[in-house]
Amino acid sequence: MSDSTAYFFWDLGQYLINGITQGSIYALVALGYTMVYGIIKLINFAHGEFYMVGAFTGFFLIHSGVPFFLAMPLAMLGSGLAAVIVERLVYRPIRSAGRIPALITALGVSLFLQYLGQNLLGADPRSFPDALGTKTYYLGELMISSTQIIIIITTIVLMLFLRWLVTSTKIGKAMRATSFSMDAAELMGINTDRVISFTFFVGAALAGAAGVLVGMYYNTVEPMMGLIPGLKAFVAAVLGGIGIIPGAVVGGLVLGIAENLVVGFWVSTYRDAIAFGILILILLIKPAGLLGKNTREKV
């Protein structure tokens, strides 16, 4: 094997590692999108902002000396509560008005949280404290940082927890029933309002965890940080099949890897255009997503 081929493979490996890290973050955020969409058919534009809320909660907690392993669940709690409040005040009254009004409202909530954050916290990025002391490990030519390992492990743990929550608990069963048919679930005595609130809580908590992880990975937090990752996570959710929980994970990983490969081997300035390109392709070729089934529209 010649030198250049060897370098090609080392580069490929490196981009794959970075892609999987990035993809895990997208997957965590995409899970919230997909759960909320699955249950009330709403594209929750404000989801990226819950990720921002989580990141800032983590930032302030770690800054005031709270250890990382405590700050993480607290940040998840913070973003989850923010989502429950937003759901109760805004989304619940608009739910019966149809999908487009709900979408516009979600857009409003997203802008509100972004600019509120910008006014309260200042627009400048802040540096995230290095809570755990980043180390870098070398495997041949490959570089893996301890932060990347933590991101991947945390993501796996949270996903296993989510899987357990949805498949083996009573509230998980209620969630599946509500997303299958809200009316029927209500007739069976399920308090669907509470189930929807809980879904928002879980989704936003996952996004909050992703926010803290990203803060550690890139060392910065800022009020606008949720916009682009939020949109990309939505792309990930659509890519995997929106409403399908394993789909969000697949979509997130595929998107993260694709993005890093394109950026690494081709052009870096088009980073943000890749996700939207993928979105448009998937909507045209297989709108139901990689894991989805096509449904016909009936009158």
Partner 1 sequence: MQIFDYLTPLAMNIGVFIILAVSLNLINGMCGQFSLGHAGFWAVGAYTGAAYSVYFAPTALPDFINLFIACGIGFSCAALSGVIIGVPCLRLRGDYLAIATLGFGEIIRIVIMNMDVVGGPRGFTNIPHWSNIFWIYLWVLITIVFVANLLSGTHGRAIISIREDEIAAEAMGINTFKYKTLAFVIGAGFAGVAGALFAHAQQFLHPNGFTFMWSVIILLMIILGGLGSITGSVIGAVVLTILPELLRFMGETVSQWRMVIYSVLLILLMLLRPAGIFGKRELNILKLLGLKRESYHG
Considering the complex, state which of residue 264 and residue 277 has its C-beta at the smaller distance from partner 1: 277
Considering the complex, state which of residue 52 and residue 72 has its C-beta at the smaller distance from partner 1: 52
Nearest in space to 188 (alpha carbons), one of 172, 174, 170: 174
Q: What is the 3-state secondary structure (H, E, C) of 157-222?
A: HHHHHHHHHHHHCHHHHHHHHHHHCHHHHHHCCCCHHHHHHHHHHHHHHHHHHHHHHHHHHHCEEC
Q: Which tokens go with 97? A: 């008005």
Closest approach, Cβ 271 to partner 1, in A, equals 9
Closest approach, Cβ 94 to partner 1, in A, equals 6
Considering the complex, state which of residue 161 and residue 270 has its C-beta at the smaller distance from partner 1: 270
Closest approach, Cβ 248 to partner 1, in A, equals 15
Residue ranges binding partner 1 (CB under 8 A): 43, 90, 93-94, 97, 99-101, 103-105, 107-112, 114-116, 119, 227, 231, 234-235, 238, 269-270, 272-273, 275-277, 279-280, 283-284, 287, 299
Considering the complex, state which of residue 45 and residue 217 has its C-beta at the smaller distance from partner 1: 45
Considering the complex, state which of residue 1 and residue 284 has its C-beta at the smaller distance from partner 1: 284
- CB environment 113-149: b (16+ within 10 A), e (fewer): bbeebeeebeeeebebbebeeeeeeeeeeeebbebbe
Closest approach, Cβ 198 to partner 1, in A, equals 23
Q: Which tokens go with 173? A: 């069963």
Closest approach, Cβ 103 to partner 1, in A, equals 5
- What letter does residue 97 receive in the DSSP assignment? G
